[in-house]
Structure formats: C-alpha cells, structure tokens
C-alpha cells in the first residue's frame, strides 16, 4: 500500500513536467516517422534502376495519381490556380507594354503629325517597329527555332486535333515576342496573344498533372477565358470567348471551371489595374425606334468591312510569303521588314500603333476628325498585316475594334447630319460599330456583346449592339466563308467547327461508327411490353419501326416518364407515344455531321436511315462517336509527329 501511494505521489508530482515534455515527445515521433519514410525512399532508390530525376518523377506521378485531380471538385482548384497565374501574367503583359512603349516613344501624342525637322520623327520612328520585328524574328529563329502558331488558329487547332496539347514553354515565348512586338509600335493587339498565352499555360498545367484529354481541353479554355477576362476586365466576355470561339462546347462540366478561372483572373487584374471599365464613355441610349433601321445598315456595313479586313490582311500576308521565297530572304528578317513598313505608315498616323487605345476612346466620345477616322479605317488592316503577316506577333481583336469604331464614328456623323433630331451622337454609333465589325471578323456575336457591355458599362446601348453584331456576323458569313482563324486552318487542310476537326471527321462514314445491335420495337408493340423491357435493361432510349423496318421515331426517357406517371397502359401501343420529329443520319453521312448534331441537340443517340428505302439500319451513340473520333485523332497526331523523321 505504501509503495502504491509512493508511486501515485510520484505520478502526481511529475504531472506538470510530463505535460511540458509532451511536445518534445510528439516532435520525436514525427522525426522517427520522417526517418522511416526517408529510409523507405532510400531502399527504393537502391532497388530502382534509373537516375534520381526519373525516380523523383515517378514518385510525383504516383502522388498525383493518388490525389486524382481529374474529379470535379479538385479540378476546380486547379482552375483557380490557372486563373491566378494567367491573371498575373496578364498584369505583367499589360504593364510591360506600357513601360516599354512609354520609354521608346517618350509619351508622344498619338494625334500629332510628325515633325519634318526632327531626326527622331523622320528616322527613328520607322526604325523602332523594325527593331522590334528584328528581335522577334531572331528570337523565333534561334530560341524557339520555329514560327509560333498563327494567333488563335493554333489554339483552336490544338483543341480540335491534338486534345488541347500545346508546347509547355510556348506561353513564355508568346509572352516575350508579343510584348516586344506590340510595345515597339507593331500593328497587332494584345488581347489575342494573352488569350493564347493563357491557353498554353492551362495546357501546360494539364500536361504536368497528367489530365485526361477532356480535362486538358477544359483547362486550356480556363486559361484563355482568364486571359481575356483579365485584359478586358470582363469575366462574362472571357467565359463566352472560351466556350464560343475556342472550345465550341457549352456543356456544364466544361462551363463551371471556365467561370471559376475567369472570375479569379478578373479579381487579380482588378487589384492591380483598377476596377473601372476599359473605356470611359458617356451614357448612350436609343433615341428613337427609327434608329434600329440605321443600326441595321451599320451592321451591314460592318459585315462588309469585316470581309475587307480579312481579305486585305491575308492578301498582304501571302505577298510577304511570295517575297520571302522569290528573293530568298531569311525567315528572321521578315518581321523586321514588316516592322519597317508598319513604322513608315504609323509615323504619319500615330493612332495606328497597336499599344494605345486612345483613338478608340476619343471616337466613343465623338472627338476624332474625319481624316483620322478614314485613315485608321482603311489602314488598320494594312499595318496589322505588316506586323503579324510578316511573322511578328499580335492579335486582331484590337485592330478590329479600332476599325469598327472609326466606321461607326463616320456613319454617326453622316446620320446626325441627315437626321439631327432623331439620332444619337456619333459616339454611340462608334460604340455599336466597334462591336459589329469585331463580331463580323470573329463570327462570335455573343462574345462581343458581353465584352462591350463590360468594357463600357453601357447597358442602354446593348440592344443596338445586339442587333448590329448579329447582322454583321450574318453578312460577313454570306460575303466570305472564312474567319481570321478558319482561313489559316483551311490552308493547312483543317476544317474546324464546334471544337471538332471536321476535315478528319469528314473522312469517316457513319457506317464505320454505328452499331447494329440495339433495341427496337414495331409501332404496334404494346406499351406494357416496352415498360417491361425498360425495367430489365440499362437502356432508356428505344427506336420504333414499321413492320417492314422503316423508321418511325424514338421513345426517350421523357416519354417513358410520362407513361410511368400515368400508370394506365391499356390499349396503348408504341405508335401512340413515339416522338416522330427526331434528327437522323443518312447511311451515306459522315462522322462530322453526327458530331455536329450531338453538339447542337440534346440527343445521345441518333438513328441511321438507309437513303433509298428509309429503313433503320443502325444507331450512333454519342459517347462511341466521340471516342472513335478521338482515337482517329490520336492516330493522325502520331502520324504527323513521326512523318518529319
């Protein structure tokens, strides 16, 4: 008993000391666990037949596989990371252009004519864009060792043909060349390059984390959306740009991470660049309903101007290509030649420089002269082609906006003169013209409408912008089949639509993809039999034919839900409940038609009908069609990779 009391007293008296020693014991346990872990790794490295770098890479791959970031919730965190990094890159991109251009041009007014007595104006001004072009040419030739892809066309091609895979360092190269090209007075804009940089960055992250092809394309879209959202301070426009222009995919699982990335990118850019809209303009509104007729005419003119822009740009680019071959000019010298020509034009009309939006803001406020508006309207596609078409870097978003604002400003001055009491001031027409011409060039009216609303904060003028943008897109499509991106891809033998390489899918017949074993009923089959099959099979879509095999329609889950809800089936046959207005494929159709139908409809199965007899010969399932298409794309990409060797 005394021994027990002695032992109890000792435990009681040392209790504070035991509490004090507990953190040290915990640290000792953590240290022992760490030593055990290091010992296990050491044993593995001794068994592993390879370099330490390979061992580390395999260990990291195993860790990423355990995280399983392909799941929806973890993937959103990756989208946040891409939006964050792209936002930072966009801020650096914007500030670098501003800093370099202010140093080179000494805060020169972009409305002043050149001084003939100034050595700087007459000699150095043309040479600054030439020097920028020379740097870009040498950088591409000796650092990148290839010509970087043509604007957004390379991104769209990567989505359609290469599962969204872009070179892991391309975003760095594109950032450097675009900043130098634009800041030294090139004629391109900064919006498309930052979208391309964001897309390449998203693709690089996806490749590092070993994402699936679908996730890689989604993360590419996240980067593009965050880039546009950051540079324009327009998250809605950035999201719509990614899904309408880049991916062509409006599904929810694609849409959600893109929204997250765009929001994060916008918040970050606002913390550095401010929260105010890109352009400060007065409040404009529709003065009278008669103005809608005038905005329709402006949309028609914008569509025709978009065709002029595209044709002029590529005519000059192809002239550069012929010049290079005819005189055997080095590839690295072509951007310098284009920069020199651009500088010689821009010195007489500084509003053409790509690094400044001053002339747009002045046009939106109605304070640009007729001569400047006409000059920028006709020469902007020329100087953009001098820079980008010769091998320099830059986008077509800002040039299209400048040209459209000048068109709208001139049109507004005319209608103000003809109908002084019935029309808004010229600035309102400049704003609508800017959106309409950009929509005509991009063929993406929804993107343009949202971006213009966000960069101006003008809600009252949205109705005319919508009307003119859609009109311009339709007129441009009728006047010329190509956009800025599709022209380049068509020359490479690639037809793209809905995020699909139509040139590849167009060579595959639906008979190669369709399945012949599927559930079908005649139109006289009783509903009781159909419901019995529904409960005993995993299928929820059934096809209905006549007694001689001709296609009648489909019974989908919606029709089955109605039947199960009613509960009374007596005397009802398949012909009474079948849905007859169903999209179908002819047996001679190609896979591209099936993929487009799946994208624009909510059907997951499509019937294949024999052209001559109208008989149902098979069905095409959405997942199988896209799986077959991706498999063929992988084979095509592998062949392209091996062919140079």
What are 406-455's pLDDT values in tens digits? 999 999 999 999 988 888 889 999 999 999 999 999 888 889 999 888 88
Q: How far apart are CA 558 and CA 360, in angstroms?
A: 52
- Sheet containing 585-586: which strands, arranged edge to edge? 585-586, 605-609, 616-621
CA-CA distance, 147 to 385, in Å (whole number)?
16
pLDDT tens per residue across span 337-347: 999 999 999 88
Going by C-alpha positions, the residue among 224, 220, 199 that lies closest to residue 148 is: 199
d(CA 7, CA 1) in angstroms, rounded, equals 10
d(CA 11, CA 85): 57
Cα dihedral value 614, 615, 617, 622, nearest 10 = 60
The phi, psi pair for 232, rounded to 5°, reads -100, -10
In a domain, 250, yes or no: yes
Cα separation, 131 vs 390, in Å, equals 14
pLDDT tens string 279-337: 888 888 888 888 999 999 999 999 999 999 999 999 999 999 999 999 999 999 999 99
Distance of CA 229 to the CA centre of its chain: 11
SS3 505: helix
Q: How confident is the model at residue 8 (pLDDT cuts 50, 70, 90)?
A: very low
- Do 207 and 83 lie in a common domain? yes
Look up residue 141 and give its DSSP letter.
I
Range of the domain at 369: 291-503
- Whether residue 235 sits in one domain with residue 145: yes
Given 454, 479, 503, the domain boundary residue is: 503
Of 203, 188, 189, 212, nearest to 154 by C-alpha is 203
> Is 421 inside a domain boundary?
yes
Q: What's the domain count of the chain? A: 3
Q: Are 541 and 554 in contact (CB under 8 A)?
A: yes
My answer on whether 181 and 326 are in the same domain is no
Residues 217, 311: one domain? no
What is the average pLDDT value for the chain, to the nearest integer? Answer: 81
Whether 409 and 525 map to the same domain: the answer is no
Q: What CA–CA distance (Å, rounded) separates 613 from 250?
A: 36
* 77 and 136 co-located in one domain: yes
pLDDT, tens digit, 9 for 90 and up, residues 562-585? 767 666 666 778 888 888 888 888
Contact 117, 371 (CB under 8 A): no
CA distances from 128 to 131, 353, 387 (A): 5, 12, 12
In terms of domains, do 349 and 377 share one? yes
Task: Give bridge partners of residue 606 from the DSSP assignment.
Answer: 620
pLDDT of amino acid 629 = 74
Looking at the structure, tell me whether residues 316 and 464 fall in a common domain: yes
Q: Tens digits of per-residue pLDDT, 189-202?
A: 888 889 999 999 99
Pairing mode, strands 500-501 and 520-522: unpaired
The string of DSSP letters for 403-427 reads HHHHHHHHHHHHHHHHSTTTS--HH
**CA-to-CA distance for 310 and 485, rounded, in angstroms?**
10
Instruction: Verify that 313 and 256 share a domain, yes or no.
Output: no
Give the number of other Cβ atoms within 10 Å of residue 8's Cβ: 10
Q: Is the domain of 93 the same as that of 230?
A: yes
643: pLDDT confidence band, cut at 50, 70 and 90?
very low
Residue 282, domain member (yes or no): no
Give the per-residue pLDDT at 590. 82
Task: Please count the other Cβ atoms lying within 10 Å of the Cβ belonging to residue 247.
Answer: 26
Do 180 and 333 contact (CB within 8 A), yes or no?
no
353: its two tokens: 């420089």
Q: Is residue 157 part of a domain?
A: yes
Residue 264 lies in a domain: yes
Q: Find the CATH number of the domain harbouring 584.
A: 3.10.580.10
Q: What is the pLDDT of residue 572?
A: 79
The torsion angles phi and psi of 70, rounded to 5 degrees, stand at: -70, -15
How is 517-549 classified by DSSP, letter by letter? ---EEETT-BHHHHHHHHHHSS---EEEE-TTS
- Cα(445)–Cα(427) distance, integer angstroms: 20
């Amino acid at each position: 008993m005394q021994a027990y009391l002695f032992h109890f007293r000792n435990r009681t008296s040392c209790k504070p000391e035991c509490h004090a020693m507990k953190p040290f014991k915990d640290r000792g346990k953590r240290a022992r666990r760490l030593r055990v872990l290091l010992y296990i790794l050491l044993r593995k490295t001794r068994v592993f037949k390879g370099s330490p770098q390979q061992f580390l890479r395999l260990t990291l791959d195993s860790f990423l596989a355990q995280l399983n970031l392909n799941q929806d919730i973890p993937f959103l965190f990756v989208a946040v990371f891409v939006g964050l990094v792209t936002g930072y890159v966009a801020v650096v991109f914007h500030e670098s252009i501003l800093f370099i251009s202010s140093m080179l041009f000494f805060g020169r007014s972009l409305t002043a004519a050149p001084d003939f007595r100034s050595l700087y104006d007459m000699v150095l001004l043309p040479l600054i864009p030439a020097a920028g072009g020379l740097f870009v040419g040498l950088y591409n030739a000796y650092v990148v060792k290839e010509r970087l892809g043509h604007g957004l066309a390379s991104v769209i091609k990567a989505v359609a043909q290469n599962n969204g895979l872009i070179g892991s360092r391309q975003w760095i190269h594109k950032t450097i060349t675009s900043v130098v090209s634009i800041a030294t007075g090139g004629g391109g804009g900064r919006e498309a390059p930052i979208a391309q940089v964001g897309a390449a960055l998203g693709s690089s992250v996806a490749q590092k984390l070993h994402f699936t092809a679908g996730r890689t394309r989604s993360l590419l879209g996240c980067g593009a959306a965050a880039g546009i959202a950051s540079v324009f301070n327009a998250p809605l426009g950035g999201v719509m740009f990614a899904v309408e222009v880049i991916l062509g995919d409006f599904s929810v699982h694609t849409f959600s991470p893109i929204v997250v990335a765009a929001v994060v990118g916008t918040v970050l850019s606002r913390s550095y660049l401010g929260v105010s809209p890109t352009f400060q303009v007065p409040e404009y509104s529709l003065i009278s309903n008669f103005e809608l007729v005038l905005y329709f005419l402006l949309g028609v003119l914008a569509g025709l101007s978009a065709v002029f822009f595209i044709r002029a740009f590529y005519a000059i680019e192809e002239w550069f290509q012929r010049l290079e071959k005819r005189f055997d000019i080095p590839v690295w010298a072509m951007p310098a030649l284009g920069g020199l020509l651009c500088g010689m034009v821009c010195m007489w009309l500084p509003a053409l420089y790509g690094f400044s939006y001053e002339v747009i803001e002045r046009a939106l406020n109605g304070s640009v002269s007729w001569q400047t508006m006409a000059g920028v309207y006709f020469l902007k596609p020329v100087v953009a082609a001098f820079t980008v078409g010769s091998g320099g870097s830059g986008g077509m978003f800002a040039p299209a906006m400048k040209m459209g604002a000048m068109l709208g400003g001139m049109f507004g001055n005319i209608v103000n003169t003809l109908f002084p009491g019935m029309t808004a001031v010229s600035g309102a027409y400049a704003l609508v013209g800017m959106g309409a011409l950009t929509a005509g060039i991009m063929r993406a009216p929804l993107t343009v409408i949202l971006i213009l609303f966000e960069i101006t904060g003008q809600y009252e003028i949205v109705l005319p912008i919508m009307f003119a943008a859609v009109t311009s897109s339709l007129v441009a499509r009728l006047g010329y089949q190509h956009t800025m991106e599709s022209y380049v891809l068509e020359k490479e033998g690639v037809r793209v639509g809905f995020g699909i390489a139509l040139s590849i899918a167009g060579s595959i017949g639906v008979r190669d993809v369709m399945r012949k074993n599927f559930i079908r009923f005649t139109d006289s089959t009783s509903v009781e039999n159909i419901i019995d099959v529904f409960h005993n099979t995993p299928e929820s879509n059934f096809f209905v034919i006549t007694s001689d095999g001709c296609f009648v329609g489909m019974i989908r889950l919606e029709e089955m839900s109605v039947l199960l809800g009613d509960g009374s089936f007596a005397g009802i046959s398949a012909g009474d409940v079948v849905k007859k207005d169903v999209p179908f494929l002819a047996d001679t159709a190609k896979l591209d038609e099936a993929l487009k139908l799946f994208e624009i409809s909510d059907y997951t199965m499509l019937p294949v009908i024999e052209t001559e007899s109208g008989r149902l010969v098979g069905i095409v399932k959405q997942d199988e069609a896209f799986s077959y298409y991706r498999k063929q794309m992988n084979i095509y990409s592998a062949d392209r990779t091996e062919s140079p060797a």
